[in-house]
Amino acid sequence: MPQVASSPRGAASRRWFLKGLAASGAAALYAPRVRGQQPAHVVVVGGGFAGASCARTLKRLGPELAVTLIEPSLRFTACPFSNPVIAGLREMDAQQFGYDALRRDGVAVVSQAAVAVDAESRHVTIADGTVFSYQRLVMAPGIDLRFDATPGYDAVAAEAMPHAWKAGAQTLLLRRQLEAMDDGGVVVMSVPASPYRCPPGPYERASLIAHYLKTHKPRSKLIVLDAKDRFSKQGLFEAAWQSLYPGLLEWVSLSFGGQVTEVQPASMMLVTDFARHRADVANVIPPQRAGAIATAAGVADQTGWCPIDPVTFESRLQPGIHVIGDAAIAGAMPKSAFAADSQAKVCAAVIVDLLRDQVPSAQKLVNTCYSLVAPDYGISVAGVYHPRGGLLAEVEGAGGTSPADAGPAFRLQEARYAEAWFDTITTAVFG
Amino acid sequence: MGWGGLTFVAVAVALCCPAMAQQAPSGAVSCSGCHASAGSGGPVASLADRPAEEIVTALLQYRSGERTATVMDRIAKGFSDDEIHAIAEWFAAGGEQSARRSQP
């Protein structure tokens, strides 16, 4: 039976309530306190880059706050640099991070899934029925893969044709399939239309799979079926493919029949309007939407993503709830870990201001995304964003991609910066 | 300006600074995406314990193209002189670490 706050719902808005924490593995048990003495409670749903960074920053900027992070996984598995894991260049344990540092900072980490949000009464319910009340809720649910979007592609099909778009078991499954494939095999990737998590990610993956094939199985071929005609860092990727993987990697754009309309996992077939591609290894990256709890909370719109205010990250649909990271509609800002962390820190400062009855100020945000096209060949795209016309818009004249004419030393330096970025951001958020 | 004026400025600075340390200037919190708060030994420089003038000079030179870079030239172009000075002064005053010390 669900546990609920013992006070009437109206009075509970200044009160928060935890029960069953010992059972859920959290360290502290908080008793409700007398109104006026207790700290404001901020609940964060989702422990990826956005949620973990926001929870930690909230506690740093507002030590007086009670901050609860609700995340079912005991360890976070990072998507950035999971492509090198697929290509055998990196091991999975380098991708995994725990929440002990957040606990040490005073964040209450609850290892369960959030299952319901009542935006009106400001309550979150977790899997065991415990109800938390909040003054402010941060939702960072990341993405859900749409298993209803491509005929034939569901969770069962993903065991034969992995998506590997949430790092973890799927990442290792795709790696094992590549390792088991005979030289001379055909690998087929399917890439969705925008928006989706990590715009350049599929092309980094294609590059590193091509690198693996060139190194270990040079008679093989990689076909990339794309539901788009244009993609992030396209000129840089295509130039690198031409010089590094000629004849090995074939990119098929939307206009040339790249959109996959159906998959048949039993026969390992990917179907487009123009052709049927039989794969020895298939990597189907399906269309996506905000994590399901966003829809349950009423913060996702018909697109499946979450409209927000570009200054406060507060939901356009539900007051008191802020949405950050991949789930948010952040205008020109891409769905990246760097962007998620930038948004998280701005959102935390906004919430601290709001809870102290101060007016938050508009902030610029930065994104930098590195991609590896080979282990020693990195490229990047950067952008600076500011709130304009109700969205986060690019600051004109800033940002852009690595120069097209850069030499090998520059590409090597960007590859090393990519690795350094990963170490820095994961240390800042989880270390 | 006489001593009275200076005293006034000093008091004003003393009063303002806990709040100033709290409020990161526009864009500043994104820097730590790549720049570690303490020396990490990695290839990206830490911004901790650098004088404000050094950060201002670097950003202005990245912005103008006078100093070459991989990404900082592209990022610096998104910030005005005032924003660059504010970011530099915030880092020189301790940056994100200074927020730990401030209370409302």
Query: A122, A168, A123: which is closest to A145 by C-alpha?
Result: A168
What is the ipTM score, two decimals? 0.89
CB contact under 8 A, A363 and B70: no
Which of A384, A385, A392, A425 to substitute to test the interface with B, most B CBs within 10 Å? A384
Q: What's the pLDDT band for B96 if we cut at 50, 70, 90?
A: confident
CB contact under 8 A, B44 and A421: yes
Half-sphere exposure of residue A111: CA atoms within 13 angstroms, side-chain side: 15
Model confidence pLDDT, tens digit, residues A16-45: 444 433 334 343 334 343 445 589 999 999
Q: Is the pLDDT of residue B69 over 60?
A: yes
Q: Quote the minimal CA–CA distance from A161 to chain B in Å.
A: 34
Model confidence pLDDT, tens digit, residues A174-199: 999 999 999 999 999 999 999 999 99
Q: Which among A352, A367, A417 has CB closest to B43?
A: A417
Integer Cα distance of A58 and A346 in angstroms: 10
Q: Is the pLDDT of residue B16 over 60?
A: no
Sequence-distant (≥ 6) Cβ neighbours of residue B52 within 8 angstroms: B85, B88, B89, B91, B92
Q: Give A-chain residues touching B70 at CB under 8 angstroms.
A: 380, 402, 410, 413-414, 417
Model confidence pLDDT, tens digit, residues A68-109: 999 999 999 999 999 999 999 999 999 999 999 999 999 999
Q: Give A-chain residues touching B27 at CB under 8 angstroms.
A: 363-366, 384
First-to-final CA distance of chain B: 32
Q: Is the pLDDT of residue A10 over 70?
A: no
Integer Cα distance of A245 and A364 in angstroms: 39
- For A273, counting Cβ atoms within 10 Å of its Cβ (0-12 exposed, 13-18 middle, 19+ buried), the class is exposed
- What local confidence, expressed as pLDDT, does residue A292 receive? 97
- What local confidence, expressed as pLDDT, does residue B13 receive? 41
Which of A364, A421, A426 to substitute to test the interface with B, most B CBs within 10 Å? A364
Model confidence pLDDT, tens digit, residues A222-231: 999 999 999 9
Integer Cα distance of A60 and A325 in angstroms: 20
| Cβ count within 10 A of residue A406 | 14
Cβ atoms A16, A41 nearer than 8 A: yes
Model confidence pLDDT, tens digit, residues A236-271: 999 999 999 999 999 999 999 999 999 999 999 999
Segment B45-71 shows an average pLDDT of 95
CB contact under 8 A, A364 and B34: no
> What is the residue-averaged pLDDT of chain A?
93
Model confidence pLDDT, tens digit, residues A273-295: 999 999 999 999 999 999 999 99
Name the closest residue on chain B to residue A425, using Cα atoms: B33
